[in-house]
Amino acid sequence: MKIIIKNVAILGLIGYTFLLAYWMIWGFGREPRSDYMYNIIPFSTISHFLQMDRLSGAKIINLAGNIGVFVPFGILIPLILKRGLIRSWILFLSGILILETTQLLTRRGSFDVDDFILNSVGFLIGYGLYKAVNYWAGRRGTRL
């Protein structure tokens, strides 16, 4: 049973990674811009989005999306690799670095340090869910 779960998780991780890469580089009508866009000041974009006088549905979707769509990585990476939080998170951040750099170089998005922060929150939520389910399964004698 464990090997089936692991194989399904591997397929899910690969498929979801490709889907997310598509969204981040080509999806939602992204066209190359004439200039490079980047933000290397932590919490700059987040605080700009959270200003109450300018809060909009699109900004909320952006913030929540940058968290929510990365929750599966916090579940799948440790499930597959059987590594702890730090090693799983480093692998995750390596993937985000590749995607963010690709967005910058193709000019189909921006390289934003706040994306690393928000994406990491999503990863950590997923990791917490993974640990909670694994704990619960362990109490029933069927650890993942």
* Domain residue spans of the chain: 2-139
- State whether residue 38 is helix, strand or coil: strand
Task: For the full predicted model, state whether its pTM sits above 0.85.
Answer: yes
Average pLDDT over every residue of 2-8: 91
CA distances from 94 to 36, 99, 120, 132 (A): 21, 9, 11, 25
Position with higher pLDDT, 25 vs 144: 25
pLDDT given at position 27:
87
pLDDT given at position 57:
82
Other beta carbons less than 10 A from residue 51's beta carbon: 9
Residue 1 pLDDT > 60, yes or no? no
Average pLDDT over every residue of 33-41: 95
Average pLDDT over every residue of 119-128: 98
Average pLDDT over every residue of 39-64: 86
| % of the chain surpassing 90 pLDDT | 75
pLDDT given at position 52:
65
CB 103 within 8 A of CB 49: no
Residue 124 pLDDT > 80, yes or no? yes
pLDDT given at position 49:
86
Tell me the two tokens of residue 92: 């995750």
pLDDT given at position 64:
94
